[in-house]
Amino acid sequence: MLQSPVVISVSFCYLALLFAVAYWGDKRADQGRSVIANPTIYALSMAVYCTTWTYYGSVGRAAVSGVGFLPIYLGPTLVMALGGFLILKMIRTAKANRITSIADFIASRYGKSQLLGGLVTIIAVIGIVPYIALQLKAVSGSYDLIVGYPALIAPKEGGQPVFADTTFYIALILAAFTILFGTRHLDATERHEGMVAAIALESVVKLAAFGAVGLFVTYGLYGGIGDIFQRAMAEPQLAKLTAVAAENRNYATWFSLTFLAGLAILFLPRQFQVTVVENVSEAHLKRAIWLFPLYLLLINLFVLPIALGGLMQFAGQGIDADTFVLTLPMSAQQEVLALFVFVGGLSAATGMVIVETIALSTMVCNDLVMPLLLRTKALALQRERDLSGLLLAIRRGAIVVILLLGYLYFRLAGDAYALVGIGLISFSAVAQFAPAMIGGMYWRGGTRDGALAGLLAGFAVWTYTLLLPSFAKSGWLPASFLAEGPFGFEMLKPQHLFGLTGLDEISHCLFWSFGANITTYIVVSLLRSPTAAEASQATQFVDALKTTRPVGSALWRGSADPAELIALVGRFLGPQRAEDAFATYARRRGVADVKRLEADADLVHHAESLLTGAIGSASARAMVASVAKEEPLSLPEVMNILDEASQLRTYSRELERKSRELEAATSELKAANDRLLEVDRLKDDFMASVSHELRTPLTSIRAFSEILRDDPRTALPERERFLGIIVSETERLTRLVNQILDMAKIESGNVEWRVEDVDLKAVVEQSAAATSQLFHDKGVTLTLDLPPAVAAVRADRDRLMQVVINLLSNAVKFAPAQAGRVVVSLAQVPDGLSVTVADNGPGIRREDQEVIFERFRQGGDSLTGKPTGTGLGLPISRKIVEYFGGRLWVESEPGVGAAFIFVLPLENSRNGTPQ
């Protein structure tokens, strides 16, 4: 059943299925019910990474170097696992800037440079076309092989004319397919939903086919994986493949292959297409970062068993290990399986070719052809009404040209080395984008010149150390070029540059090209500071993940006519789509009519981003500039805007800090204010208290005086009683005035203290004598408990007497009449001399023991009635004692009595310096 009609019709059926899936996907997308808005589809579409090079080549590579095929899958796994943030940043940046290809990404980052976009495109095309050729060769090779069944070796091709060559038709069919799904319309976002759906299906098919062969070989031909390995170990030549044997233990090679493959998963145009451009939602990345590596693991699971099985099965038959996947089922007469495997290989090839060609055609159109057309025939183009058709035509043309280039390379290279080794050579070419890409996303200092120079240097070294040697190995250049260096210059031997030996060709190329690329990129970038355009784009890219990134419109100033802008966009997107896009924009801005749109920076930016989706950032900027009058911003102005944005975060942190400081300062101020208010209130209270204390006796005096005046007939005893009250209230008033003045003088420091050596014993005795009449009147006993002699203290004798008399009169006031007892004692204590005046009065409650030292806060309650006195005696006494460095306090047991104690330091008497 493996005759060519069957194989061809099965192949066409398969392609028809893909077509149907893609058609369905596009239709669903048009209805707004996307089928690819699904993280699993997204992860599967990434598996476009696995081409025929994986499908057929991994086994071939494993047959030579055992586990040496693994780094190609280790790199992507590591990048997915550890580099998710990088991919996220690429996705967000690309979406924000409507970037549709890796060339546009780099061009946009470095000031929307057409030159840079063009260079990236050229490098990509040169690097990728041979890779496409490899896919064509694989399809054609596997076709020749399968239709040659039951023979296991395909007849040598070559010689037949192009039109008799199946590969040519394969290329044309793929071109047609790609045109159908890659260029249906010029979407602003350039998403190809149908294509992605088809690619995801292809990933499932190739995995299933490869798994089927693996299972067949492992469990059909052999007794399981253990069995295969056991038998292989028995053969010395195979045993070394099963282990990470000595020759596989070249760490430099492992490292560079892993590194290279890691970069390829990011920067291969087809990977950029499916991972970044076709991404529907950033959230899908979460599943892809584990699902895609899992896919890689699964597709590699049976590589070694198939390789070992093939080597043992076909020992000595000279069958190419690259064909084991197909020849093993064929040799076992498993025709259906063989056909399935062929379809799997077809899917690996078509998937790669379609996506890669779409990506390349977008780049060729937007970054190579359009800029040239716009430049050379600018006038003619601008007069053209609708260019959307031309754009599509350019893309379709590019697709055909790229595939024909691939075919041409395939025809020229044939079985030459230049084709076989092209996978890694392609990887090394796109790896040259890494410094400009990663540097551009994380370093603001990178400039267009730096990126250009770095890319050129890396590309030149790549050409010299990898591409030209592959030509030499294919016999297109003299072998001496490799062996002796160009013109016999040993130091310039392409694969041992400057005498560097000990590295395989890939590591060698990577070393020199990356060295040249990175160094040139950095050094040239540092030669001058970024221009305004570069700086503004740098911020868009570097701060892509930050929320306060300035919008593009913030960096544009000028004027434009909305009608002209709409017309311009319409020329590239088609008038209807342009109308729709601007109508949507107007609705979002809350403007009812498109014609009423304001021609502000935001509108211009919107037009430019619409165009960017269709023709790339560099061309879009050029086209917008042709209808809008831009007043270029100077670098300082751009830096101002950018600084504002990037400093916004700093400012907000600063603001937070300031506001915390302000809060602290405010609360301090509040506390200070509260203290001031308290002081004020105390003063107010003092004034109110003074007023109250003065008014109270005045009230009695005035009342009785008026009573006596108004009624002269008042009885004599009453008259005498009233006059007595008037006199005593007058005395109270006088005492009060004196004490208030005394207090004020002490507080303001206006007292003249007469400091001398004072004998406290004498002071106590004299005070007792002065108050003896009070004690006698109330029948209270006064006892003096004094030592024979005490040391003198430095103080004011009269003031100390004032204190002791005050304490004595308080004591007698509160001591019970007749039964009262007051004891005054004088004693030497550790910190000086103490005087204690103790009574057996009602005592003072603990909570009142400090209050009584406040002004006008007298002790006493209902039991004692309102005490006589001014309420200033104790505060004044305390001030006096404290003035001489002493303390005055009360100790009391309520109901038992109270003891007022003051201590004066003797220290003062020696140095004689009262505080």
Partner 1 sequence: MSKKILIADDEQNIVISVEFLMKREGYAVSVAADGDEALAKIRAEKPDLVLLDVMMPKKNGFEVCQDVRSDPALAGVRILMLTARGRDTEVAKGMALGADGYMTKPFSTRDLVEKVRELLG
- The residues of the shown chain that bind partner 1, judged by CB under 8 A, are 688, 691-693, 695-704, 706-707, 710-711, 722, 725, 729, 861-862, 865-866
Helices and strands, counts by H and E, the chain: 39, 9
Least Å distance between CB 799 and partner 1? Answer: 31
Least Å distance between CB 747 and partner 1? Answer: 23
**CB closer to partner 1 out of 699 and 781:** 699
Least Å distance between CB 710 and partner 1? Answer: 7
Distance CA(469)–CA(720), nearest Å, equals 139
Task: Tell me the C-alpha to C-alpha distance, in Å, between residue 75 and each of 41, 262, 270, 463, 495.
Answer: 22, 4, 17, 23, 24
Residue 467 backbone phi and psi in degrees, to 5: -70, -50
**CB closer to partner 1 out of 477 and 694:** 694
**CB closer to partner 1 out of 710 and 752:** 710
Distance CA(130)–CA(352), nearest Å, equals 13
From the CA atom positions of the chain, what is the Rg in Å? 51
Least Å distance between CB 702 and partner 1? Answer: 4
Tell me the one-letter amino acid at 664. A
CB atoms near residue 229 (< 10 Å): 17
**Contact status, residue 81 vs residue 385, Cβ threshold 8 Å:** no
Least Å distance between CB 726 and partner 1? Answer: 9
**CB closer to partner 1 out of 710 and 847:** 710
Which of helix, strand or coil describes residue 521? helix
**CB closer to partner 1 out of 667 and 705:** 705
CB atoms near residue 162 (< 10 Å): 11
Least Å distance between CB 700 and partner 1? Answer: 4
Which of helix, strand or coil describes residue 157? coil
Residue 620 backbone phi and psi in degrees, to 5: -60, -45
* Cα torsion through 383, 388, 390, 393, rounded to 10: 180
Q: Which residue has the tokens 């579409």?
A: 45
Please, which residues have CB within 8 angstroms of residue 593's CB and are 6 or more apart in sequence?
586
**CB closer to partner 1 out of 700 and 766:** 700
Answer whether the bond into residue 150 is a cis peptide, omega within 30°.
yes
**CB closer to partner 1 out of 588 and 866:** 866
**Contact status, residue 452 vs residue 123, Cβ threshold 8 Å:** no
Least Å distance between CB 718 and partner 1? Answer: 8
Sequential DSSP letters for 237-287:
HHHHHHTT-GGG--HHHHHHHHHHHHHHHHHSHHHHIIIIIT---TTHHHH
**CB closer to partner 1 out of 1 and 688:** 688
**CB closer to partner 1 out of 382 and 700:** 700
Both tokens of 310, joined, read 């093939």
Q: Which residue has the tokens 């399981």?
A: 224
The residues facing 559 across adjacent strands are 629
Nearest to 43 by CA among 292, 294, 355, 351: 292
**CB closer to partner 1 out of 237 and 862:** 862
Least Å distance between CB 673 and partner 1? Answer: 20
Distance CA(330)–CA(518), nearest Å, equals 49
**CB closer to partner 1 out of 658 and 695:** 695
Least Å distance between CB 721 and partner 1? Answer: 8
**Contact status, residue 836 vs residue 824, Cβ threshold 8 Å:** yes
Could you write out the three-class secondary structure of 377-408?
A: CHHHHHHCCCCHHHHHHHHHHHHHHHHHHHHH
Least Å distance between CB 707 and partner 1? Answer: 6
Least Å distance between CB 706 and partner 1? Answer: 4
Q: Using N-to-C axis directions, what is the helix angle for 57-65 and 303-313, rounded to 10°?
A: 70
**CB closer to partner 1 out of 501 and 862:** 862
The residues facing 826 across adjacent strands are 835
Least Å distance between CB 808 and partner 1? Answer: 24
Nearest to 515 by CA among 467, 456, 457, 469: 457
**Contact status, residue 427 vs residue 260, Cβ threshold 8 Å:** yes
Least Å distance between CB 684 and partner 1? Answer: 9
Could you write out the three-class secondary structure of 40-72?
A: HHHHHHHHHHCCHHHHCHHHHHHHHHHHHHCHH
**CB closer to partner 1 out of 684 and 785:** 684
Distance CA(188)–CA(611), nearest Å, equals 7
Least Å distance between CB 742 and partner 1? Answer: 22
Distance CA(106)–CA(119), nearest Å, equals 10
**CB closer to partner 1 out of 773 and 862:** 862
Least Å distance between CB 701 and partner 1? Answer: 7
Distance CA(569)–CA(390), nearest Å, equals 14
**CB closer to partner 1 out of 598 and 711:** 711
Least Å distance between CB 711 and partner 1? Answer: 8
* Cα torsion through 756, 758, 763, 765, rounded to 10: -140
Neighbour-count burial of 250, counting CB atoms closer than 10 A to its CB (0-12 exposed, 13-18 middle, 19+ buried): middle
**CB closer to partner 1 out of 247 and 718:** 718
Least Å distance between CB 887 and partner 1? Answer: 30
Distance CA(887)–CA(900), nearest Å, equals 11
**CB closer to partner 1 out of 797 and 855:** 855
**CB closer to partner 1 out of 583 and 725:** 725
Least Å distance between CB 687 and partner 1? Answer: 9
Which of helix, strand or coil describes residue 833? strand
Which of helix, strand or coil describes residue 841? coil
